[in-house]
Chains A and B, each alone.
Chain A
């Protein structure tokens, strides 16, 4: 497995894809921070460090969809380029191929998250004014990230399962968006029109849990729910993905 992980890291860090995606996000972050700094330096006293963190809390949902990018980076359209045959024909066990890609995708996603959050926090800390609300805002950030982490992991596992199950990467990405982003409003509608049970299911969807994380800060039972949902999604998606991939004909 160590060899497999080393090879995947070698591949991903030699592509422009990772760096260009990260630079694009960092540039957008820079624009946002510049906006805060510009309005503050032009007399808007309502702008401060703790206020800038609220934007970060609201952006944690983006992490769900970022899994599509990191998954694509690692899976690298292997069905399109038929490169999986080089791995399977050498006798690499299929579960190792699957788990290796999932692990590296998770690693890359975590690295990107650390860089993005770190850069945002660092620049906001340096450029914006501070007050007594900073410590509670940082504590809330810690809580939000602790709740978001398992849900991001679940999204990454779901994305990787879709890339392995669906031979077309674009279609796989659409399915992920549909499952993570489109399904919750559909469930909400079904809850209103058909049965309230659908609304209960909606409350367990990763996107809905992430939306409510900030409002439900420091509720440990809610944090526990995020971890249970995230881990169940991770295990279930990975099992389905591996079982399907085991049977797939590799061309």
Chain B
């Protein structure tokens, strides 16, 4: 049985006449790494801001750890948040900035600051103030703040922006470690879909403020699995031929005379010959298969910037 960490119900945000988020339903279960996918301006950041309390929803409800309403404030202390560019006081060092928030949040132990600085590879920044940090260092300090209270739930909005390739790998490994060792649930929004595909165990697709679909990584993989899709007049006869002539049962029959074959991917001519020689009329035949990017683009109906 899984516990629901986050659930939104009819979450809506309207700015004047612009509907930024329209009745978003989003569910994140314990232990998941939830990838929120959408192009620029789709409403990802607005959803995250409503979850974190930065923006008051026009309508709808946010439930965190099974609790909604006024008690949400207390439960937000169990979350770690990094929304857009990390923001800190420019005249303070990394250690001073974190110490300020440690005091403010009442997190015990001065060693906590050193520990998260170590974890995020910022321990040797010394007297360098935040204003002199590179974008990558700023991102890592944002992550350090998000991790300081050992959160049960991490909300990260575009966290790998500004990180170099090595930093991205380190970041990915850190998130995987948190997820696997501490059972930290993670909601992460990113434009870099291949990177998201390396992490996420569940996806939510959003476009124009509307949640289009929530799907597990396993189900998505199934949907995107490479295959030969054939359109025939008699799918049952075609299936029999595939079993008898090619000795495979790795196929599925779909409604409307469609048949998907998941083997013999490199021998489409053999498949076509077997079907035609067996008396099955072949209407169409194509190789299919998609990655996360293709799937998202097909969902929003065209090639747009993700």
**Which residues of A are in contact with B by a Cβ distance under 8 Å?**
3-4, 6-8, 10-11, 14-16, 76, 81-83, 85-93, 247, 249-251
Contacts and interface: CB of A to CB of B under 8 A. Distances in A.
B69 to A, nearest CB: 13
Contact of A247 (B56, B84, B87): B56
A249 B79 CA distance: 20
Given A85-B83, A89-B81, A92-B104, A11 B89 contact: yes
A85 to B, nearest CB: 5
Contacts of A83: 87-89
A91 B89 contact: no
27 contacts: A3-B106, A6-B103, A10-B100, A11-B92, A11-B100, A14-B96, A81-B90, A82-B85, A82-B87, A83-B87, A83-B89, A85-B52, A85-B54, A85-B81, A85-B87, A86-B81, A86-B88, A89-B54, A89-B76, A89-B83, A90-B81, A91-B72, A92-B73, A93-B73, A247-B56, A249-B54, A249-B56
Interface in B95-145: 96, 99-101, 103-106, 145
A3 B87 contact: no
B103 A3 contact: yes
A92 B73 CA distance: 7
B54 A250 contact: yes
A3 B102 CA distance: 9
Contact of A91 (B74, B87, B101): B74
Given A7-B104, A11-B89, A14-B92, A90 B76 contact: yes
A82 B89 CA distance: 9
A250 B83 CA distance: 11
A249 B83 CA distance: 14
A16 B87 CA distance: 20
Nearest to A97: B104
Given A86-B101, A92-B73, 9 more contacts: A3-B104, A7-B100, A11-B92, A11-B100, A86-B87, A86-B145, A89-B76, A89-B79, A93-B73
Nearest to B73: A91
Contacts, number: 83
Nearest to B145: A86
A129 to B, nearest CB: 45
A91 B52 CA distance: 8
B75 interface: yes
A90 B79 CA distance: 7
Given A85-B83, A91-B72, A76 B54 contact: no
B77 interface: yes
A97 to B, nearest CB: 9
B104 A91 contact: no
Interface string B52-63: 111110000000
The 7 closest A-B pairs by CB, nearest first: A91-B76, A7-B104, A82-B87, A89-B52, A7-B103, A89-B81, A3-B106
Interface of B: 49, 52-56, 72-77, 79, 81, 83-85, 87-92, 96, 99-101, 103-106, 145, 149, 155
Nearest to A85: B54
Contacts of A8: 104
Contacts of A14: 92, 96
A99 to B, nearest CB: 14
A7 B99 CA distance: 8
Contacts of B53: 88-89, 91
Contacts of A4: 104
A151 B99 CA distance: 35
Contacts of A6: 103-104
A15 B149 CA distance: 25
A98 B116 CA distance: 28
Nearest to B104: A7
Contacts of B92: 11, 14
Contacts of A88: 52-54
Contact of A3 (B55, B105, B149): B105
